[in-house]
Structure 1
Amino acid sequence: MRIDAVFVIKRRGVVVTGRVDAGEVRVGDTLWVADRAFRVDGIEAFRKSLESASAGDTIGLLFRTAEKADFVQGSVLRDSPSGGTEAPATFVL
């Protein structure tokens, strides 16, 4: 998923928005941006909490232990640490 926006919700964490390009993401999954791993603590779409999202869904991902500075608009979230930000992956959010 290419990150469209990043913002902080007080007492909840960092939210990253974008469209799932391929595959599926679930609450509890570990996603990578560059060489850093982050656990998905929540998924929302249009103010509805979800357990998972799949290709084509526009979503917000909640990361409770991340900082806003960990994410940059335009960066790519992946299901694997390999390949930097442009290599193919099974799941691209």
Structure 2
Amino acid sequence: MDFKRAIAVALENAKELLPGAKEFTLEGAIIADSNYEITLSYYLTGANPLELPDENGPGSNLFKLAKIMGTRKEYKIFIVGKTHFEFKGFKAYKEK
């Protein structure tokens, strides 16, 4: 069992497939059937509100606040082969 290698494969593919994602965190790692299932969380955000043009007059501060609040944390399970450590894909994380 080489969890570190499976986690590295999952993280490398997550960064490639989710270019807008930031701050990856390992949430879990298990062996299921013949695969490692690596759960990663990450943050997604829109454009930096402090760099947006100030076009909306007095309402712009509310718009910037809404954009900041738009940052969200997401989770995905990345599947890595147990024998050859090949990346097999990812799926949505579901609370149990």
TM-score (norm. length: structure 2)? 0.25
Identify, as 1 or 2, the structure richer in helix: 2
Find the structure with the greater CA-based Rg. 2
Which structure is richer in relative contact order (CA contacts within 8 A, separation 6 or more)? 1
